[in-house]
Amino acid sequence: MNIPLNPNDISHVIEADKANVWHHLTQHAAFETVDPKIIVEGKGLSVWDATGREMIDAVSGGVWTVNVGYGRARIADAVRDQIMKMNFFAAAAGSVPAALFAEKLIEKMPGMSRVYFSNSGSEANEKAYKIIRQIAHKRYGGEKHKILFRERDYHGTTIAALASGGQPERAAHYGPFPPGFVQVPHCLEYRSQWGAVADYGVRAAKEIERVILEEGPDTVGGIVLEPITAGGGVIVPPEGYWETVQEICAKYDVLLHIDEVVCGLGRTGEWFGYQNYGIKPDLVTMAKGVASGYAAISCTVTTERVFDLFKDDPADPLGYFRDISTFGGCTAGPAAALENMAIIEEENLLDNTLVRGAQLGEALKALEARHAIVGDVRGKGLFWGVELVADRTTKEPLGEKLVAAVVAATGKRGVIIGMTNRSLPGLNNTLCIAPALIATEAEIAAIAAAIDGAIGEVAATI
């Protein structure tokens, strides 16, 4: 590894960071006593910090992004070659990599048809909301404009995205929010809102119908849902949920918007999370794993039916989708995305995700027998959550500081994992594990062993 080991160089970088960088999700008062972590290099599933310490990254870049791992020269080369030839032109014009990637992407998404490029998941979701709102004005006199969202789901960090997010601590202090976003209940059976009920998945989905009827079907234009809730606790919807959601959307003419920002591009062992459940969405948004973090890119994908609604009256000067994303015209993103997708195909990473995901799931579920503070283990593919509790009988959540201590203890063992963090009052108690799709048998074993040891270490202090 080409890690800067000169102590003077490291010291300068750390001081420059502390003096000038405003980090994401960070209380900077902490840097009065500890230095910020500086990650300087990555290869495969491993990263090295500025001191030369190697760690296994079991959260794909910290936020479920680096799906094909670090150090992919072919992606870097593709980006360099493309931007030297043509780096950017506003996306009112086309580009070679954008056209080719859109074609390739649509091949993986039967029933979908059009790709709108932007540069982040938050922005991709904003585009989808604007599409739904504009359709409301074009078709329904502005009435069918409300967008439903699910408790515990997350859709981004802009004001409208926070308005449509079900994580109160993420949204705290950023209101007032725009109207027209309405919450529906979560679908985590482990924390059932109705006690022990038969067909919990159907029951949870039926709550969406209840909300539609309360709001008025003539006012609800869309619903945005993660196929598997990510930062809200890695919630895999139970049997019957998605079939019922689809039926409800069809019954009330509600556009189904699936947010694949985390699950997209292989995380669950399918190209997209919704493809595990037979869903036929109207809109799909994605970012993160689309280019595995090698370049910024996001996509808002629609059916041809949705697309056609914006070209039905060429004489209307306001009838087309009057939106722009500056960096939707950057060619680096689709160039990187093409190579990223080729790697997933050529290396059979969807299959690897299923095999290694089964190994990881089995190892994590074994923790329930070993540790009383493990309340629930859930996931799919290489996307898992371990919910920690203070009491299994009452399901009292383990305190956030103790969950953070498990994350830190796992880090001491050379593995980086995540957790629900400042999202859900009293329920930030789920460990998040999502290694790159290239994970090996040995790496999965090492990840599971580190978590096992860390949970045991913290449990011994309670």
DSSP 325-386: -GGGGBSHHHHHHHHHHHHHHHTTHHHHHHHHHHHHHHHHHTHHHH-TTEEEEEESSS-EEE
**Rounded CA gap, 363 and 354, in Å?**
14
Q: Do domains 7-68+349-459 and 74-346 have the same CATH topology?
A: no
What is the pLDDT at residue 32? 87
pLDDT digits (tens, 9 = 90+) for 63-109: 999 999 999 999 999 999 999 999 999 999 999 999 999 999 999 99
The span from the CA of 275 to the CA of 412, in Å, is 37
- The DSSP string of 26-66 is --GGGGGTSPPP-EEEEEBTEEEETT--EEEESSIIIII--
| Euclidean distance between CA atoms 32 and 28, whole angstroms | 8
pTM over 0.95: yes
Which 3 state secondary structure label does DSSP give 210? helix
The two structure tokens encoding residue 458: 């913290």
54-57 vs 374-379, strand pairing mode: unpaired
pLDDT of residue 315: 87
Query: How confident is the model at residue 9, as a pLDDT?
Result: 85
> How many C-beta atoms lie closer than 10 Å to residue 332's C-beta?
21
Coil, strand, or helix at residue 139?
Answer: helix
Domain segments of the chain: what residues?
Answer: 7-68+349-459, 74-346
Give DSSP secondary structure letters for 257-277: EEE-TTTTTTTTSSSSGGGGT
Q: Report how far residue 239's alpha carbon sits from residue 278's, in angstroms, rounded to the nearest whole number.
A: 12
pLDDT in tens, 262-272: 999 999 999 99
Task: Indicate if the alpha-carbon torsion angle 162, 170, 153, 226 is positive or negative.
Answer: positive
Q: Structurally, what CATH architecture does the domain formed by 7-68+349-459 represent? A: Alpha-Beta Complex (3.90)
Spell out the per-residue pLDDT of the chain, length 462, in tens. Answer: 565 556 568 888 999 999 999 999 899 998 888 999 999 999 999 999 988 999 999 999 999 999 999 999 999 999 999 999 999 999 999 999 999 999 999 999 999 999 999 999 999 999 999 999 999 999 999 999 999 999 999 999 999 999 999 999 999 999 999 999 999 999 999 999 999 999 999 999 999 999 999 999 999 999 999 999 999 999 999 999 999 999 999 999 999 999 999 999 999 999 999 999 999 999 999 999 999 999 999 999 999 999 999 998 888 999 999 999 999 999 999 999 999 999 999 999 999 999 999 999 999 999 999 999 999 999 999 999 999 999 999 999 999 999 999 999 999 999 999 999 999 999 999 999 999 999 999 999 999 999 999 999 999 999
Helix (H, G, I), strand (E, B) or coil at 193: coil
- pLDDT the model gives residue 8: 66
119: tokens are: 């540069």
Rounded to 10 degrees, what is the CA torsion of 443, 434, 429, 258?
-170
> Which CATH number does the domain 74-346 belong to among 3.40.50.720, 3.40.50.300, 3.40.47.10, 3.40.640.10?
3.40.640.10
DSSP string, 401-427: HHHHHHHHHHHHTTEE-EE--SSSTT-
pLDDT digits (tens, 9 = 90+) for 126-153: 999 999 999 999 999 999 999 999 999 9
| DSSP codes of every residue in 421-450 | -SSSTT---EEEE---TT--HHHHHHHHHH
Provide the pLDDT for residue 372. Answer: 98
> Beta strand 298-302 with 283-286: parallel, antiparallel or unpaired?
antiparallel
Q: What pLDDT does residue 10 have?
A: 86
